[in-house]
C-alpha cells in the first residue's frame, strides 16, 4: 500500500490541512493536535463529541502558530473572537507542559491526542469505502486495505518507522455534520455492526523521520 494523503489537525477537533510531506517525532506529525480550545469556566478541553460546532471550523499552521478559519470565513487565533463564536469563554492552549496547568485532561502529554498509542492514525480507502475521509480525521490515508492486519507490527514509511499499536474505536463524532458533509447516523451503525466498532489504526513513532504522499508502506524487518 501507498500513502495517498497526509493530514494534520493543528487544533483538536477542528478540521485540518493536507500536506505533501511531513516530519514525525515521538509526539506524532509535527504540529498535529498541538493546540486545543479550553473552556475557561470548567478548564475542560473541548472536543467535538460535546461541542459539535468545532467540526465546522478548520485550522492550519502559519509561521509556527495556529490560524483558525471560522464557519463565516473569519481567520483568527484570538481568544476573544473564538469565545464570541462559541458563546462561552475559551482559550487556545498548546500542549507544552507549562501551558497545561489546571486543565482537566486525562490524555497523554506533549500533544492533545486521546491515546498515547495513537500518535499517528492511519486508514485506507478500502476500509472506509464511500465515506468521506474527513469523518475519521486520519493522519495518513492509504491506497489499499489491510491496515488491521498490521497491528503489532512495525512499518517503514519514508525515513520514519512506526509501530502499529491498536485498532481505533469510533464514536458519535464520525456521524456529525461538517463543511460539505451532512449528519449521517448510518456511518457509526455500520462500523459497529460490520467492524466491531473500529475503523483505522493508531501508531507510535519508533524512529523519527519524514514521509511524503506517494511513499510505500513497508513492513519493517525485525
119 and 90 in a single domain? The answer is no
18 and 40 in a single domain? The answer is no
Distance between CA 3 and CA 143 in Å, rounded?
A: 6
pLDDT for the residue numbered 97:
53
Asked if residue 108 is part of any domain, the answer here is no
pLDDT for the residue numbered 109:
87
pLDDT for the residue numbered 222:
64
11 and 43 in a single domain? The answer is no
pTM, two decimals, is 0.94
Distance between CA 74 and CA 96 in Å, rounded?
A: 27
Give the end of a domain, one of 48, 66, 99. 99
pLDDT along the chain (222 residues), means of 10: 97 97 97 96 93 97 97 97 97 74 83 95 93 95 94 97 98 96 96 96 98 96 70
Which phi and psi angles does 139 have, rounded to 5°? -75, -40
Asked if residue 72 is part of any domain, the answer here is yes
**Residue 142 three-state SS:** strand
21 and 52 in a single domain? The answer is no
Asked if residue 109 is part of any domain, the answer here is no
Is residue 122 within 8 Å of 140, Cβ to Cβ? yes
209 and 125 in a single domain? The answer is yes
Asked if residue 137 is part of any domain, the answer here is yes
91 and 122 in a single domain? The answer is no
Distance between CA 204 and CA 10 in Å, rounded?
A: 18
Q: CATH code at 129?
A: 2.40.33.20
Cα 149 to chain centroid distance, Å, stands at: 21
Which phi and psi angles does 129 have, rounded to 5°? 60, -130
Asked if residue 49 is part of any domain, the answer here is yes
Closest CA to 92 of 46, 26, 142, 140: 46
52 and 81 in a single domain? The answer is yes
pLDDT for the residue numbered 106:
84
Asked if residue 107 is part of any domain, the answer here is no
Range of the domain at 18: 3-29+114-219
Asked if residue 172 is part of any domain, the answer here is yes
Closest CA to 13 of 123, 172, 122, 124: 172
What is the b/e burial string over 75-97, where b = at least 16 CB atoms within 10 angstroms of the residue's CB? ebeebeebbebbeeebbbbebee
51 and 8 in a single domain? The answer is no
Asked if residue 104 is part of any domain, the answer here is no
pLDDT for the residue numbered 103:
86
The total of structural domains in the chain comes to 2
Closest CA to 27 of 8, 44, 13: 8
Amino acid at each position: 500500500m501507498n500513502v495517498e494523503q497526509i493530514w494534520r489537525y493543528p487544533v483538536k477537533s477542528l478540521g485540518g490541512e493536507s500536506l505533501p510531506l511531513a516530519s514525525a517525532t515521538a509526539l506524532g506529525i509535527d504540529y498535529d493536535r498541538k493546540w486545543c480550545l479550553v473552556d475557561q469556566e470548567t478548564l475542560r478541553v473541548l472536543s467535538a463529541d460535546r461541542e459539535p460546532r468545532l467540526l465546522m471550523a478548520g485550522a492550519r499552521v502559519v509561521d509556527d502558530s495556529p490560524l483558525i478559519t471560522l464557519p463565516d470565513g473569519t481567520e483568527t487565533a484570538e481568544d476573544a473572537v473564538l469565545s464570541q463564536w462559541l458563546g462561552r469563554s475559551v482559550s487556545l492552549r498548546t500542549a507544552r507542559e507549562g501551558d497545561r496547568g489546571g486543565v482537566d485532561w486525562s490524555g497523554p502529554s506533549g500533544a492533545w491526542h486521546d491515546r498515547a498509542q495513537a500518535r499517528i492514525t492511519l486508514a485506507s480507502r478500502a476500509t472506509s469505502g464511500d465515506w468521506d475521509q474527513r469523518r475519521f480525521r486520519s493522519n495518513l490515508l492509504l491506497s489499499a486495505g489491510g491496515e488491521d492486519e498490521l497491528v503489532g507490527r512495525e512499518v517503514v514509511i519514508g525515513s520514519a518507522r512506526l509501530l502499529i499499536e491498536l485498532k481505533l474505536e469510533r464514536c458519535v463524532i464520525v456521524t456529525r455534520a461538517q463543511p460539505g458533509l451532512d449528519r449521517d447516523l448510518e456511518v457509526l451503525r455500520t462500523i459497529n455492526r460490520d467492524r466491531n466498532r473500529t475503523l483505522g489504526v493508531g501508531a507510535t513513532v519508533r524512529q523519527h523521520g519524514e514521509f511524503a504522499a506517494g511513499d510505500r508502506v513497508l513492513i519493517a524487518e525485525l
